Amino acid sequence: LDWLPDRFFHLAVAISVLHYMRTDEYLFELPLMRNGSRRPRSNVTRTPCAGLAATQRTQCRAARDMFHSVRIGGRIWVSHNGCYNGKWDPKRVWGSEYWRCCFRAELRTGEAELMEIPEDELFLHPEDADPTYSLVVVRLPPRLTA
């Protein structure tokens, strides 16, 4: 998304789309086990937390590109995470801290506020539906250091 101008938009939205991208450079989905459960592949190396922001062609990269396109006070909203039994949910495929690692630098400098909101609080869902969540990231002004 390099063609998007930096800090230009008030809102960037991805609804039910990022989960089709890789979670990491070599992780895409949780394989289905014989017992019907899903667990990460043991033969795939996971990018460390500190390096996740530098990955290419991943859900993290797309969300970060969206973040760089919003102005201070702007928001990104990534909706419908965790669908399809979490098959492509980065919090299940990569690990529970995926989004915090993705925005690690911005969270440390205070340039971002990250919220993971269960979508059953936002939308009506049938009881047998997969528990999905939205990711909302707010761009904050950089903290001044003395």
- Tell me the C-alpha distance between 146 and 140, whole Å: 18
**What pTM, to 2 d.p., does this model score?**
0.82
By the 8 A CB rule, do 86 and 38 touch?
yes
Q: How does pLDDT run across 55-78, given as a tens digit for each residue?
A: 999 999 999 999 999 999 999 999
Share of the chain above pLDDT 70, in %: 83
Q: How does pLDDT run across 95-124, given as a tens digit for each residue?
A: 899 999 999 999 999 999 999 988 876 776
Positive or negative: CA dihedral 106, 108, 113, 119: positive
